[in-house]
Chain A
């Protein structure tokens, strides 16, 4: 029995909250502007909370099971983050209160800016972008502003590897750039020759994900970046895979000019069922003046007795504001808490174990599954979910069958350059026992693909819901409940 819809619950006259009667004289309501019908449901408190609790139980989540969703870094989200973000001083802080009253919030943001600079090897950081894609937009707009500030108006194209996330070309197009796709070579690297052929005076930027979405460190990253710089272009780093680089290499050292971090991947802020994310951008010195602002700076240096005084600072050539107020501050507190508990050695251990886990899965699954780019990987491994001798089984079937074993499927059909791709990112917070159980399931599924393919094709079997009719959803669009329009 599916959980009823909210509009099928409740009864006229019921409410989940009683508000106090106003303690002031009543004013006349504005004529002609009062709505005659507010068609919201009417539930009691228990009824509403039971409904939402029961719905929660239909979700797979990190807290309930392994979630090896490639490129999403579904690692443990420390509960303490949830406590610190809810401390009264932060949770009830109004964003427009004067900086002098908000020194705690500004201290968190200042230190997070500084730490992200240090971790990525950058000269400056803005915390304003709301998510990874928003950070990309910030980065590409900065690149555009940088070229414009130099009177360099011919640069109209952005190079994007064929393995890149869809956000990269979407962002470039939003910013008015032409997108040129660069193929990958046989080792899963960006094809250096193809890249060099596009490095001319119309080049605005290269958008580079490193490690790339095949989970591989770009072996010619320095040559690629040098070629772009030599042509007068800039390099945008997509920080989606930063979990593999913490304390291992700093993108800024490698020559990346601007990079977005995903606090919800690398720095354990929760994914929240699809957000909020948080996508701070770090930049090399020549882009610092273009950052979205304001950012936090020091107004007065501290002394031994007194900490510094923090204030807002607008970068002089800022691309402007990307979001109202100061970014996803609650996520800043969580990332701050996490980095505070890790320190330099902890962060390096995170990357090391993420990569150890990725490679462990690679060698354990190799053989039963084809690893199209077979070399030491970073934090994730991409497999092919297909066999020549089991032609009717697809990556999607493997993904769905994994649910019967209690696992969330890997990312599938991405990156686009691998046929029937299965992209597996275990993260460092999973133990060897969990990985072994996952390997067992994957090996069993590979066997079933050959012996009983229908078991995969009809999967999942043990979940509360089976495969959904996505075509029906798109053709007969139903995007909301029937709303009672009568009063």
Chain B
């Protein structure tokens, strides 16, 4: 299927205007021996054929929709109101680019401004950027910000082992070979956040924790923030925004930077992306934040309007002195989250969060009654918890799959001490019937 609209007559007229005989004549600057390579690609399909082909491929996936799923670990299956996709499908949004020309981009600009506002409200912070790639890269930018705020001094970063292992891996990729020293990742998993306090010293630039943490646990980080500040360090908290529908926001605990994965806010699982990186901070650090920011102003007719602002932080102005190399945001995913939060609002998001909480706690309570099963940690948790089973998690998951259940995330790979443990996520989409079926099935397959 071609999307080139030119007729033969158009081509001839255009070539004549240019003053060349053939289109090939336009490529004489390309070294001849490499010009017009023969590409070995499948023969082109029409739209109808392509859709048929893609449907066939998609059916080779057994997705969370076909089965009962308790898999989360950073990507969550939530209900997405129909209105969200109706907005994302508007060509005015999805076929626009970064709003460099504010006069004809107020739709995107105001939507970003509202996104920034909603995220500020949700996190209890003061400034949100226009979004980042995902939760992992947003955390990497937090580390980068800390370096900028401390102007290169304080090269020790404390990272809790309760941060998503893939997020920590991304931070290390970004910082590999740099001058930062990371500590804390091998810390006792049961120790809780206050144990991190002892590691904070005058060299510490940033303390990174997650809320809920990777194991679903929730803590009040107020003391940790105070301890960090007492030594001149900052606190970054990586959040799941659904939890903030119910729980005290990290902004109220004294966090300096809040990052997070915005996928639960109306974005489909989509095999891991595109998702949404949340990145927020305090007013005093606004000049060190990475990525786009939208600010309010007025036009020359006196109307309120919005523009990209503080772009002197950015790569297209500052080049090698920029605060980050990022030049996009996750525009469409930002719009999904904005629409989702606008629709759910104050009561809806609280309902989703409470529903997740109660269902997860019901599941945990029922599983705890099973012989040989138990909860690995005793701490408060949100909608995920670590289940210890009498057999290795990998084997357990295989058996569950045989009964149509996608089990939890097998923690043994990332945490050798948790070989018989899996991380179970329960959301509002899991009915009591599904949870009961899980519990029943666990009892049967574990001792088979």
Contact = CB atoms under 8 A, between A and B. Distances in A.
Nearest to B261: A324
Interface string A341-355: 111111111101101
A414 interface: yes
B370 interface: no
Contacts of A32: 220, 248
A194 interface: no
Interface stretch (B106-114, B184-192, B197-205): B106-114
A19 B352 contact: yes
Nearest to A221: B31
Contacts of A80: 47, 50-51
Counting contact residues on chain B (CB < 8 A from A), the size range is 35 or more
Contact of B346 (A41, A217, A337): A41
A118 B41 contact: yes
Contacts of B371: none
Contact of A59 (B106, B177, B268, B329): B106
A371 to B, nearest CB: 13
Interface string B272-313: 111100000000001000001111111111011111011010
B269 A45 contact: no
Contact of B305 (A16, A35, A250, A468): A468
Contacts, number: 674
A26 B341 CA distance: 24
Contacts of A40: 118, 121-122, 341, 344-346, 349
Given A17-B81, A30-B247, A59 B172 contact: no
Nearest to A272: B332
Interface stretch (A62-70, A383-391, A444-452): A62-70
B343 A17 contact: yes
A355 B27 contact: yes
Interface in B14-30: 14-15, 17-20, 23, 26-30
A107 B53 CA distance: 12
Nearest to A47: B342
Contacts of B118: 6, 40-41
A408 B102 CA distance: 11
Given A137-B325, A173-B320, A364-B17, A48 B342 contact: yes
A24 B29 CA distance: 70
A14 B3 CA distance: 45
A337 B50 contact: yes
Contact of A20 (B4, B86, B252, B428): B428
Interface stretch (B91-99, B149-157, B228-236, B440-448): B91-99
Contacts of B35: 248-249
Contact of A74 (B97, B299, B334): B97
Contacts of B11: 356
Contacts of B357: 27, 29
Contacts of B399: none
Contacts of B195: none
Contacts of B44: 340-343, 345-346
Contacts of A408: 101, 104
* A17, A82, A95, A481: residue with the most chain B Cβ atoms closer than 10 Å: A17
A3 interface: yes
Interface in B401-448: 401, 406, 409, 428, 431-432, 435
* A3, A52, A107, A473: residue with the most chain B Cβ atoms closer than 10 Å: A52
A428 B2 CA distance: 10
B71 A96 contact: yes
Nearest to B24: A352
Interface residues of A, number: 198
A253 B95 contact: no
A483 B121 contact: yes
B285 to A, nearest CB: 12
A274 B34 CA distance: 34
A69 B82 CA distance: 33
Contacts of B43: 343
Interface in A147-204: 148, 165-167, 169-174, 176, 179
Given A133-B328, A272-B332, A465-B305, A30 B64 contact: no
Contacts of A92: 63-65, 77, 268-269
A324 B93 contact: no
A343 B42 contact: yes
A435 to B, nearest CB: 8
A297 B139 CA distance: 29
A409 B131 CA distance: 25
Contacts of B107: 55-59
Contact of B351 (A19, A270, A347, A353): A19
A165 B317 CA distance: 10
Contact of B10 (A104, A270, A431): A431
Given A40-B345, A360-B14, A469 B297 contact: yes
Contacts of B121: 38-40, 483
A97 B4 contact: no
Interface string A320-351: 11111111111101001101111111111110
B45 A340 contact: yes
B350 A38 contact: yes
Interface stretch (A83-91, A228-236, A281-289): A83-91
B210 interface: no
A477 B309 contact: yes
Nearest to B426: A24
Given A166-B318, A350-B4, 14 more contacts: A19-B355, A24-B359, A58-B110, A89-B59, A90-B271, A131-B133, A166-B322, A176-B177, A249-B27, A458-B300, A460-B104, A464-B103, A468-B305, A473-B297
11 contacts: A38-B245, A45-B343, A52-B335, A78-B1, A90-B63, A93-B61, A95-B271, A356-B14, A360-B17, A481-B114, A483-B120
